[in-house]
Chains A and B, each alone.
Chain A
Amino acid sequence: MTSAVILALAVFGASCVEMVEALTIVVAAGVSRGWRSAFEGTLVAVIALTVIVAAVGVPLVRLVPLDALRVVVGGLLLVLGLNWLRKAILRASGHKALHDEDAIYARTLAELSGDRSSSATPAPSFRHGAWRHGPRDSTGFVVAFKGVFLEGMEVVMIVITLGSSSRRLGLAAAAAAAAVVIVGVIGALVARQLSEVPENAMKMGVGIMLTSFGVFWVGEGAGLHWPGSDLFLLGLVALFALSAFVMIRSMRQLVPPSPVVERAADVSVS
């Protein structure tokens, strides 16, 4: 039960983060090239990702021995989780720039607009049903498809690894689908990218959960039985959260002063 809840939270959080990033590209494609093609590109990408989950995940669950599967997917989760956690710690401690959805949106919009007139404001055509009847645009379709497909591949990895190793592929897929629907509906309602989403905090939380699952499955697969079984996952989450907190606190003190601050300090001294 405990692992099911953490699994659903991890998949849901990871999917939300990736879908917010995909939404930025889809909205830029919709605003600049028309909503119909952006919507169709998104739909085809989601279908392709669903087919990959079914085609790879189901045979994994049925054919591969559980212990071997747990070591391999635990290792993959650990690689993914440690990378997310490392990035989130560097961002939270000021050693790496925060992910800027507004900047990505503006850059994508400028690239796609070409000679078309563009606007950063929501496209009115979306709200007037032109996403169903408007003209088709191959560039808008390809950009939306690639954006959703590439961002979604990480979600697919997480769904397949977490779902197959815990024999809960359906739950993992449902959590990811819920995130896609929720982010998609919110994006459609506000018709813009979601730059206010606390992406780094979510990435930190998901990184902690993926790292915890990775360590847990590697240990289980290798025959290292955790005390308390599934409940030990909560202990792992707490341990990695505490470690991340300590690393952020200690690394914050090491951020070099920015050139502007240094210049200001020089002026005040002189």
Chain B
Amino acid sequence: MSTAVKWLSAFGRFWWDFLIGDTPELFLAVLVVIGLAFALHHDRVAGIVVVLLAVIGFLGTSTWRGRKRRSS
């Protein structure tokens, strides 16, 4: 493998790990939050409330998914 391909592959791996890694749901959550902010920017109060609730909800859901489970 040439040096350029190795560098490109390492660069791609860095961004994959950084953005998605083992929590793809957080990457999707951020896209949803950005979409909500754009969709609701005309209604300031609703926009602020929905964006903040969405961030906290996504964080809670992702953290809940990462918890230790009882072995059955």
Q: A31: CB under 8 A from chain B?
A: no
Asked whether, in the complex, the Cβ of B37 is within 8 Å of the Cβ of A251, the reply is no
Check A82/B62 contact, CB under 8 A, given A75-B34, A211-B55, A226-B48: yes
Q: A215: CB under 8 A from chain B?
A: yes
Q: Which residue of A lies closest to B37 (CB)?
A: A222
The interface of chain A, by Cβ under 8 A from chain B, is: 71, 74-76, 78-80, 82-83, 85-86, 89-90, 93-96, 153-154, 157, 211, 214-215, 218-219, 221-227, 236, 239-240, 243, 247, 251, 254-256
Tier of interface size on chain B: 35 or more
* Residue numbers in A under 8 Å from B51 (CB-CB): 215, 218-219, 224
Apart from A153-B14, A222-B34, A224-B40, 14 more pairs, CB < 8 Å: A75-B30, A79-B26, A82-B23, A82-B30, A83-B23, A89-B63, A93-B67, A96-B66, A157-B18, A219-B51, A222-B37, A240-B55, A251-B64, A251-B67
* Residue numbers in A under 8 Å from B19 (CB-CB): 76, 79
Check A256/B71 contact, CB under 8 A, given A86-B59, A243-B59, A251-B63: yes
From B34, B38, B41, B59, contact of A85 by CB (8 A): B59
The interface of chain B, by Cβ under 8 A from chain A, is: 14, 18-19, 21, 23, 26-27, 29-31, 33-34, 37-38, 40-41, 44, 47-48, 51-52, 55-56, 58-60, 62-64, 66-71
Asked whether, in the complex, the Cβ of B26 is within 8 Å of the Cβ of A82, the reply is yes
* Residue numbers in A under 8 Å from B37 (CB-CB): 218-219, 221-222, 224
Rounded to whole angstroms, the CA-CA distance of A221 and B63 in the bound complex is 27
Q: Is the interface of B mostly helix, strand, loop or mixed?
A: helix
Rounded to whole angstroms, the CA-CA distance of A240 and B63 in the bound complex is 14
Check A219/B48 contact, CB under 8 A, given A82-B58, A86-B63, A251-B63: yes
Asked whether, in the complex, the Cβ of A78 is within 8 Å of the Cβ of B30, the reply is yes
Q: Which residue of B lies closest to A150 (CB)?
A: B14
Check A215/B34 contact, CB under 8 A, given A82-B26, A82-B58, A86-B23: no
* Residue numbers in A under 8 Å from B40 (CB-CB): 224
From B23, B47, B59, contact of A224 by CB (8 A): B47
Asked whether, in the complex, the Cβ of B67 is within 8 Å of the Cβ of A254, the reply is yes
Rounded to whole angstroms, the CA-CA distance of A256 and B67 in the bound complex is 10
Rounded to whole angstroms, the CA-CA distance of A86 and B21 in the bound complex is 13
* Residue numbers in B under 8 Å from A221 (CB-CB): 37
Check A83/B26 contact, CB under 8 A, given A157-B18, A222-B38: yes
Q: B18 CB to closest chain A CB, in angstroms?
A: 7
Asked whether, in the complex, the Cβ of A95 is within 8 Å of the Cβ of B48, the reply is no
